[in-house]
Amino acid sequence: MAANLEDVPSLELMTELLRRMKCSSKPDKRVILVGPPGCGKGTQSPLIKDEFCLCHLATGDMLRAAVKAKTPLGIKAKEAMEKGELVSDDLVVGIIDEAMKKTSCQKGFILDGFPRTVVQAQKLDEMLAKQGTKIDKVLNFAIDDEILEERITGRWIHPSSGRSYHTKFAPPKTPGVDDVTGEPLIQRKDDTAAVLKSRLEAFHIQTEPVIEYYTKKGLVANLHAEKPPKQVTAEVQKALS
């Protein structure tokens, strides 16, 4: 953001003003996205953010930003990382607390990648309660492991452009070759059945109790994440309206 408003181009100013006017009538929302790798959270999250004027809080990004900005919590997080330790739950909740005070989070937030455990969920609830707020909805991107395996292990990437293909859903014209440049496609190291299996095991063990925790509070909306993106978007809109 330019320090002086006079230096901001008029079109950008007007666009931002119109956006804020539109957002002022939107209800506040605090939403958690839960789902295994490849479930489609990344596709839906920008749409939710724009539709409901929320800020997107991804814990990994926030930790890196706090470390870079050298905030007191960021310094503590950096110390933990340099020792090869996991950043404590209290630190992460503190960093979320800090991030929530930004102007872009006025109407609420989408939390992605947190909480991963019931203890984290409890600490988050305590922190929000101190501010007089609470989580409004937990969107559970429910999908079978078999479908995920097909989705993820079929992904091929063209490294220099970022174009992605899928052997079944969006195949290249020539197998293993980028349509535009004719260069070879690669598969990400994480996009193998073995890596996916261990990530899914961790997800089921750690995060399913979190879904259970919020289900007891009546906050969970179960989405059919195996459906095409547009249909999932319609389910998201319904759950949040």
30, 41, 76, 123: the active-site residue:
41
64, 137, 199, 227: the active-site residue:
199
Inter-residue contact 44 to 32 (CB < 8 Å):
no
Inter-residue contact 1 to 12 (CB < 8 Å):
no
Verify whether residue 41 is a known catalytic residue: yes
Verify whether residue 30 is a known catalytic residue: no
Inter-residue contact 113 to 59 (CB < 8 Å):
yes
29, 30, 76, 116: the active-site residue:
116
Please work out, in degrees rounded to the nearest 5, the angle formed at the alpha carbon of residue 61 by the alpha carbons of 55 and 65: 95
Neighbours of 181 (CB within 10 A): 11
How far, in Å, CA of 23 to CA of 52, rounded?
A: 7
Place of tokens 């739950």: 89
Question: Tokens representing 208?
Answer: 């399913």
Question: Tokens representing 52?
Answer: 């409901």
Please work out, in degrees rounded to the nearest 5, the angle formed at the alpha carbon of residue 227 by the alpha carbons of 223 and 231: 75
How far, in Å, CA of 237 to CA of 216, rounded?
A: 22
188, 197, 217, 238: the active-site residue:
188
List CB contacts of 94: < 8 A, sequence separation 6 or more: 73
Q: Which residues are catalytic?
A: 41, 116, 155, 188, 199
